[in-house]
Structure 1
Amino acid sequence: MATRKISESVYMGMCLKIGTAQQLASRRDIMDIVEMLQSKEMLNIQFTLMLSGSRREGFRLRGSDLDYMRFPNDHRGIWDFSQCQFYNTQEHALILCDSSESPPGFTLLWLPFERTSHTVMSACVRMNGMLYISSSKYREVTCSLSIPGSSPHGPCGSGTIHGVEFDHAHCFVSDFWPPCASTWIDRCHSWPPSHVVNDIIRNGCHFVAIGHKLGNHTDNEWRISFSQAEYKLVCSINHTQFLIYGLLKLFLKEIINEGLRDEDKLLCSYHMKTAVFWAIQQNALPHWHPKNLLAGFWVCFKLLLKWVYEGNCSNFFIPENNMFLNNIYGDAQKTLFTRLYRLYEKGIALLLHSPSISSYIINVLCNPRLTICTIEYTLISEVERDMDIFHEVFGNDSTGPPDLRICTKYLHAVERSIGLPLTQYHIVMLQKLTATVLQGIVFILHNLYTNTGLNKQLYIVDKLACHMLKITARFGCVSDMFYIAVYYYKTFRYKEALSVIDITKVRLAQPYMMYERHVDRERYTEAVGGQTLSTKMRQAVAQDIIFNNGIFYINEIMPEQQSSKQNNCLLLSIPPLVLLYMLEFLCSRHVDTMRAQRALDDLQILVHHDQGQLIHVLCRDISWEILGICQQITGNLQAALYSYQQSLRQYPFNRIQTATRQRIQDLHL
């Protein structure tokens, strides 16, 4: 009875830590619609960028990297020449996979027709008179293509944007299932279901640029990646199984690897995922539900212990590929086994060493009569669920570089998606992306036609711009209204801009307004509880204003955008109230000087005294900067100097320090 209660309590804790089934569904749906809109079918672009790893699976654990796979759409891997018939060789460069001399799970990539791009050609080597793509050379060539300033990390180029670590693996894709993994199909009797198996096989595999350390062609071999297949498998498991996978990841991070140097961390989360897959397929537990979550965890832990003892962790798709061969052998293997066996001897009490889990075990031990509720809908409130969803929506609200052609393709992609069966999460993500695309088009067009001197064209563009911005205000979030005010200011319509600012100010002041994680939960529920996500976003949700650094919006902060762009930052994030007071100040200077002073006073109070409620802590750099700019405009140079100095003391999230230092220099104090 106690074990069952502890299992239920840990299940509840894992739902709070990792997410309920509904939260996972929303995260995956939002990513699905983003990937669909960015797919080659929708945008007809040269490369596909695909989120992979734990974040794609639905995890949102603190400190996790963002893992991306990037592959060219005009190259395709094939396993024999008969598959050539499915491609037009004028459109696709074909790569023949040659696994004859490679360890299981690895292959050489041969270019039989020697037709490829300049980038790929620069990474080729000749072996036995034939042209092969070298994995090591390809890593060198592509390392810094996705993230400027990135450095090599395994098969990836790694870098940091906005404080988040990214791993980009440049790879190739095959539309065909590899013959070396054909036995996996025959193993799938009870799990996964046949429709999942068929979907996985239809989507083929990828080739990641890293060879086997013990192979004959280490520098030239490629690893066969089943990342997409693994994602589909993770989506097919039930929520208890997913939480066991999450518990194993926490167990690895907080207990097994705690206190170890990076080079001593022999197990990784991929081994944990593999253990879950094998345990499910081998029917190691008759039923996977909240009451036996700990039993499921223990089954997987024992499987890991067995693998370490034997020195063999079989890849789920290609069992002949022993994933321990590279690093878990000899003394390292013995040390790891000893460490794991000591944990095993503690029994389930070993989880008391996990900061994330221990309290849920202790609660039951201290209060055996405690009633545990595992009904997910009661674990997390509607407000918490909405916060999670809008955080996902805004975090994925990006359309890449400011390119009119790409923006137009996005709109066509949105139009084609409308007839598809869409969930509420798909719809709200589509709405926000559409608003962002339209805003981008407006400012790109304005910047293109402003200096042409053609009044008729400018008039047409202006009418179109105003219309598009009003559309975005109807289905974007509350702070999307600001783009109308910015456009009016940019086109010298100060009274119209102030009118929009007044309306937006009233809406932002509503007691139910949600900004980041700050909201009056009771008022929010009273105002929009039970409404659709679209209605909630339009009426009760604000976000930071995002300026794409490839488009100039306001002349006064152009140096900040240039600085941010030069420092490899694609976007500038400004808190809504900071931009509101700045725009009110800038517009009022032309029509009402007293109102301009009041706006500046309000901005100063906000920036000086906010405790993270209205200005996100990461946006303090730009907030102090904007206050300094406004103070400098009024001639208060000492106050401006203080504000710029404060901006430099903040975390450099927007990377505007170059502009800040130049502004300080220009004060001539």
Structure 2
Amino acid sequence: MEFSSRNVETGFQHLCESVFVRLCQIVGTSVQVAIRRETTNIAEMMTRVVDTDTAIEMESGSRREGFRMEGSDYDFMYWPNDHRVIWDMPQFEYYYTENKNLILSDSSESTPGFTLLELLTPTTYRQIHSACVAMNGRFYISSSLFRQQIKTNRFPGSREHGPCESGELPGVAEFDLAFCFACDFWPPSASSWINRCHLWPGREVADDIVRNGCHFVPIGNPIGLHEHEEWRISFSLAEHKLVHTMKHCQFLTYGLLKIFLKEVIDTQSEETSKLLCSYHMKTVVFWVIQQNILPLWCPKNLLACFWVCFKLLLQWVYNGVCPNFFITQNNLFLTKIHGSAQRCLFQQLHGLYEKGLACLLQSPSIRVYISNVLYNPRLSICTNEDRMKSECEYDVELFNEIYMNVPKCPKNLGHCIKYLHTIELMIGEPLTQFQVLTLQRITAHILQSSAFILHNKYTNTNSNRQMYITDRMCCHMLKLAAKFGFISDRMYIAIYYIKTLRYRDALSVTESIKICTAQPGLMYHGNVDQERYTEAVGGQSWSTKMTQAVAHDIHLINYICYIRELTPEQQSSLKNSIPRLTIPLFVMLYFVEFLCYRHTDTNLAQAALEMIQDAVDHFQRPYANRLKRDICWEILGICQQMTGNLQAAFHFYQQTITQYPWHQIQNAAQMRIRDLHIT
């Protein structure tokens, strides 16, 4: 790409600004990225405080970093909270072994970045015990056996992918689940990293990263002495903290490298495709930032930032060495990029390098924006992020993230009280506006759970006074939750009225929901008429918008009884470790109406049944989320069975069985089919 004389600088800046605008569209503006990170942070923080007795779950990978690009995987790490890895025996004294099982890292025979894990104390986990192998008179947890033992079989078609269980959620995305162990101490082999953090990420962030230790994922070094027994040291938690400290231009450069890898590098040849990965791109950006090669990261310099990163990558491939950012002796290219594959990859990357920035023209996502500047050198480009997205687009991002970041399901009243106490403490902390809204929605969720758990606890009591007081408390909590939750949160009041046989009250609530959801500006699962939404609630507070114009699906926690007719489905789902049923709002709304009218008016009950059918048909369309179809068909079958139409019920239960088993309710459907006695 050639520029000449005086126009070089201006033309280059325009080119950078054009790509910056495009990346803000693909990757997100700084506000969108902040929304994604901050809503996840507050929900994860709450779960960490409350769920101290169970396995810990942490979202990792690109989505945790703030990406929502097409193809972004869902990555999760899980580890038992009552197991900890230590680096040496003196660290033993930091733990009370009555409630912690200790594991000793032994890296004496492992290459940098890998280690053996010796089980020091007996474990009650069958999967861990079964993965142990005897070596030199000691018991080590074999990474390969552990992967086999821990496989969930939760997702059809899932497979082993490195240390993870991987698969695809139909119509959603691919996923990686890594089951691992946590360590509260920083690895001695990564101690030199601490001394490098003078300029970036800064002492405060570095100290926070070191305090949080690391993890161990079940994968060994293929060229190590103990490939099937070794574990890899994982710095996932440290990495997403580092990514979160990046300036937005640095984050966009990382995003551009990911796009360039997928759309350009990986399409050069089959032989070299997948030799490089997104982790290598992240490592490049980390090193470039820390070495302060580029003092100025800004929209007008974006492509220069990209080019410096690309040149460093090219140098690494030439040398066959990609140093891990934390343990520099760990060469990330060691097992894949060497020999003929290395030479071929270098030739291809060098060919792209010789083209200069014109190599970006091979990227379908970026090409048109570069061409626009080349053919229109006087084109005016606005890099003001506030004008890149509409108010409605930011609202869609925010409310979807808030909906997605609901904490783990409370199992009992004690759990609920712990959540509410944690919320009370967090209210006094300095929170961002996005975190305040997330906390508001979490509070609604906990109040709803508390109401149903409380009612179930005192349903069979002989004390009328106790039942009256409980009912008053439950109604108050559900109405309070509806005041600062989504429109759809009012549905839990109707469900409670059904549960307590107040059908007229339940119908009153469903009518009010129908009126609200009939408004042209409704935002349902991010689907919205932007113009009408802006006319209806534009300029109002996010809290007002959330309660008046936003609706989502209904979650029924499988530990809690909500509607007696769905008990078999909840039990089947719970037996398969599924925490909740997720039911489309309108399917649930008309299901509640059907349950009310079947006692009083068969015509209106039939009308509600037809509306359920319409709502279910919507979820059979190609673009609809397939993950909710099983429960939709099941509810339709339940209603048909109640009306006496057994043949239709049989058909719908069969449909449930053929769907993707997201809720694992196939056993319930088969049981219902047997009960129909249709031959």
Q: Same fold (TM over 0.5)?
A: yes
Aligned residue-pair number: 667
Matched, 1:60 2:68: yes
Structure 2 alignment gaps of length 5 or more:
1-9
Offset, 1:404: 4.3
Offset, 1:466: 1.6
Cα pair 2:558 2:581 within 8 Å, conserved: yes
Out of 240, 263, 277, which is 2:286 matched to?
A: 277
Q: CA 1:84 to 1:610, structure 2 compared with 1: closer, same or farther past 3 Å?
A: closer
Cα pair 1:98 1:110 within 8 Å, conserved: yes
Number of the residue aligned with 2:591: 582
Number of the residue aligned with 2:321: 312
* Inter-partner Cα distance in structure 2 for 1:652 and 1:487: 28
Matched, 1:438 2:447: yes
Q: Deviations over 1:254-303 (max 9, x none)?
A: 22223866995111111000010111122222311111211111111111
Q: CA 1:107 to 1:658, structure 2 compared with 1: closer, same or farther past 3 Å?
A: closer
Offset, 1:489: 1.2
Number of the residue aligned with 1:182: 191
Comparing 60-69 with 141-150, greater Cα deviation is found at 141-150
SS of residue in 2 equivalent to 1:38: helix
* Inter-partner Cα distance in structure 1 for 2:274 and 2:531: 46
Structure 1 letter corresponding to 2:203: S
Cα pair 1:245 1:273 within 8 Å, conserved: yes
Alignment of 1:510-521 (within 5 A): 510-521=519-530
Comparing 81-90 with 659-668, greater Cα deviation is found at 659-668
Q: Deviations over 1:197-255 (max 9, x none)?
A: 22222222222222222222222222222111111111111101101101111111222
* Inter-partner Cα distance in structure 1 for 2:227 and 2:212: 27
Q: CA 1:246 to 1:656, structure 2 compared with 1: closer, same or farther past 3 Å?
A: same
Number of the residue aligned with 1:333: 342
Offset, 1:645: 7.5
Structure 2 letter corresponding to 1:230: E
* Alignment TM-score, normalising by the size of structure 2: 0.89
Offset, 1:123: 3.1
Paired-residue identity, %: 56
Matched, 1:407 2:416: yes
Cα pair 1:575 1:616 within 8 Å, conserved: no
Matched, 1:77 2:73: no
Number of the residue aligned with 2:274: 265
Number of the residue aligned with 2:472: 463
Offset, 1:389: 1.1
Q: CA 1:139 to 1:644, structure 2 compared with 1: closer, same or farther past 3 Å?
A: closer
Q: Deviations over 1:429-483 (max 9, x none)?
A: 2222222222223333444544566655544433332222112111111111111
Number of the residue aligned with 1:130: 138
Cα pair 2:321 2:331 within 8 Å, conserved: yes
* Inter-partner Cα distance in structure 2 for 1:629 and 1:50: 36
Number of the residue aligned with 1:5: 14
Cα pair 2:284 2:309 within 8 Å, conserved: yes
* Inter-partner Cα distance in structure 2 for 1:334 and 1:518: 48
Cα pair 2:83 2:100 within 8 Å, conserved: yes
SS of residue in 1 equivalent to 2:264: helix
Q: CA 1:265 to 1:624, structure 2 compared with 1: closer, same or farther past 3 Å?
A: same
Number of the residue aligned with 1:21: 30
Q: CA 1:623 to 1:193, structure 2 compared with 1: closer, same or farther past 3 Å?
A: same
Structure 1 letter corresponding to 2:284: A
Cα pair 1:399 1:437 within 8 Å, conserved: no
Comparing 621-630 with 343-352, greater Cα deviation is found at 621-630
Alignment of 1:190-589 (within 5 A): 190-258=199-267, 264-400=273-409, 402-450=411-459, 457-561=466-570, 569-589=578-598
SS of residue in 1 equivalent to 2:134: strand
SS of residue in 1 equivalent to 2:470: helix
* Alignment TM-score, normalising by the size of structure 1: 0.90
Number of the residue aligned with 2:55: 47
Comparing 609-618 with 512-521, greater Cα deviation is found at 609-618
Comparing 444-453 with 247-256, greater Cα deviation is found at 444-453
Q: Deviations over 1:617-654 (max 9, x none)?
A: 75455445545544554456677677678777876665
Q: Deviations over 1:310-345 (max 9, x none)?
A: 111111111111111111111221222222222223
Structure 2 letter corresponding to 1:109: L
Structure 1 alignment gaps of length 5 or more:
none
Cα pair 1:143 1:150 within 8 Å, conserved: no
Comparing 102-111 with 319-328, greater Cα deviation is found at 102-111
Structure 2 letter corresponding to 1:391: N
Cα pair 1:177 1:202 within 8 Å, conserved: yes
Q: CA 1:550 to 1:634, structure 2 compared with 1: closer, same or farther past 3 Å?
A: same
Structure 2 letter corresponding to 1:175: D
Number of the residue aligned with 2:150: 142
Structure 1 letter corresponding to 2:66: G
* Inter-partner Cα distance in structure 2 for 1:638 and 1:198: 65
Structure 2 letter corresponding to 1:166: F
SS of residue in 2 equivalent to 1:590: coil
Number of the residue aligned with 2:104: 96
Offset, 1:551: 3.5
Q: CA 1:633 to 1:127, structure 2 compared with 1: closer, same or farther past 3 Å?
A: closer
SS of residue in 1 equivalent to 2:180: strand
Q: CA 1:44 to 1:562, structure 2 compared with 1: closer, same or farther past 3 Å?
A: closer
